[in-house]
């Protein structure tokens, strides 16, 4: 008899064994997370998972990825009970199946000391991250919007980036003159801002032209070894969202 979770359980049941055995709850989609590394479940593209990849990479944490390529892959995860609210991203980490981007990011940032030294620094980091999240959210949705609204939405993104968001971070760096946004130490806010800058530059290459401190910031943060590595070809960083990715997502969700 092949001994696996199913046969073991069946065997115990037939013997009327009310033995409580702790069997790690593994969905069928789990190909064996024995490496101990976090395992990311998402499409093979940026979307909502990209900031998580950035944060893990910046923290120097290696991770595995399981890509959803067709509807059945997603349905399987949903039916397994792996997705608390039926949605991805999902990250398997430290025995948990974490969902909800912010919850995942909070966990990683705290675990790897990227969220400030006290409640007030954390509050500042949270505010900054929410700002860059709003900006990146606009950019993320752009490829999914109807063609006739793209130009207008792109203009709105650039307008928001240059009049609402980037001025805030430029000023923060100017006011304290330090290398990092909060507490003179690398935090989640810095990683997120770099990601937002690079995404905005993909929309408009000279978007930082009026922000000298952000230009310097970009250079500095890009040179941090873990981040430098993530920015090199062959890393797990995903390319800009293209038609192919849009097609995959549309197909899986029937849109």
Q: Does 84 bind another protein (CB under 8 A)?
A: yes
Q: Look up residue 153 and give its two tokens.
A: 């939405």
Shortest Å, Cβ 187 to another protein: 14
Which residues share a beta bridge with 64? 39
Contact (Cβ atoms closer than 8 angstroms) between residue 194 and residue 218: yes
Phi, psi of 49 (to 5 degrees): -85, -20
Q: Which of 94, 117, 178, 212 binds another protein (CB under 8 A)?
A: 94
For another protein, which stretch binds (CB under 8 A), given 15-23, 132-140, 174-182, 218-226? Answer: 132-140
Q: Look up residue 23 and give its two tokens.
A: 């069997």
Contact (Cβ atoms closer than 8 angstroms) between residue 241 and residue 46: yes
Q: Does 131 bind another protein (CB under 8 A)?
A: yes
Shortest Å, Cβ 237 to another protein: 24
Q: Does 30 bind another protein (CB under 8 A)?
A: no
Q: Does 177 bind another protein (CB under 8 A)?
A: no
Q: Could you count the other beta carbons within 10 Å of the beta carbon of residue 193?
A: 28
Q: Which of 164, 174, 176, 228 binds another protein (CB under 8 A)?
A: 164
* H, E, C per residue of 57-97: HHCCCCCEEEEECCHHHHHHHHHHCCCCCCCCCEEEECCEE
Q: Which of 13, 134, 202, 242 binds another protein (CB under 8 A)?
A: 134
Q: Does 235 bind another protein (CB under 8 A)?
A: no
**Please, which of residues 40-79 interact with another protein by CB under 8 A?**
75, 78-79
Q: Does 154 bind another protein (CB under 8 A)?
A: no
% helix / strand / coil in the chain, to the nearest 5? 55, 5, 40
Q: Does 210 bind another protein (CB under 8 A)?
A: no
For another protein, which stretch binds (CB under 8 A), given 7-15, 38-46, 131-139, 222-230? Answer: 131-139
Q: Does 247 bind another protein (CB under 8 A)?
A: no
Q: Look up residue 54 and give its two tokens.
A: 């950035």
Closer to another protein by CB, 100 or 222: give it.
Answer: 100
Q: Which string of b and e fits 159-176 if b means at least 16 CB within 10 Å?
A: ebbbeebbeebbebbeee
Q: Does 117 bind another protein (CB under 8 A)?
A: no
Shortest Å, Cβ 103 to another protein: 3
Shortest Å, Cβ 127 to another protein: 4
Phi, psi of 156 (to 5 degrees): -65, -40
Ordered alpha helix ranges (H), 81-211: 101-111, 119-141, 147-160, 166-176, 188-203
Judged by the rule CB under 8 A, the positions of this chain that interact with another protein are 75, 78-79, 84-87, 94, 96, 98-103, 106-107, 110-111, 119-120, 122-123, 126-127, 129-131, 134, 137-138, 141, 144-146, 148-149, 152, 155-156, 159, 164-165, 168, 250, 253-255
């Amino acid at each position: 008899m092949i001994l696996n979770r199913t046969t073991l359980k069946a065997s115990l049941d037939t013997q009327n064994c009310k033995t409580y055995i702790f069997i790690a709850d593994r969905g069928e989609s789990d190909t064996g997370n024995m490496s101990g590394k976090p395992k990311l479940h998402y499409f093979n593209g940026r979307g909502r998972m990209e900031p998580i990849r950035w944060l893990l990479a910046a923290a120097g944490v290696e991770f595995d990825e399981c890509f959803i390529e067709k509807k059945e892959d997603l349905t399987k995860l949903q039916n397994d009970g792996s997705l608390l609210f039926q949605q991805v991203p999902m990250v398997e980490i430290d025995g948990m199946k974490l969902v909800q981007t912010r919850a995942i990011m909070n966990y990683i940032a705290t675990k790897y000391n990227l969220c400030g030294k006290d409640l007030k620094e954390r509050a500042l980091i949270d505010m900054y991250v929410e700002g860059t999240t709003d900006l990146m959210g606009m950019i993320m949705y752009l490829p999914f919007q109807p063609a006739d609204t793209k130009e207008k939405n792109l203009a709105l993104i650039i307008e928001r980036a240059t009049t609402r968001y980037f001025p805030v971070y430029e000023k923060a760096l100017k006011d304290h003159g330090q290398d990092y946004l909060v507490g003179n130490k690398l935090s989640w806010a810095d990683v997120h801002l770099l990601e937002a800058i690079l995404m905005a530059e993909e929309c408009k290459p000279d978007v930082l032209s009026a922000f000298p401190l952000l230009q310097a910031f970009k250079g500095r943060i890009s040179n941090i070894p873990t981040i430098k590595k993530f920015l090199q070809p062959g890393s797990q960083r995903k390319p800009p969202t293209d038609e192919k990715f849009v097609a995959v997502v549309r197909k899986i969700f029937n849109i």
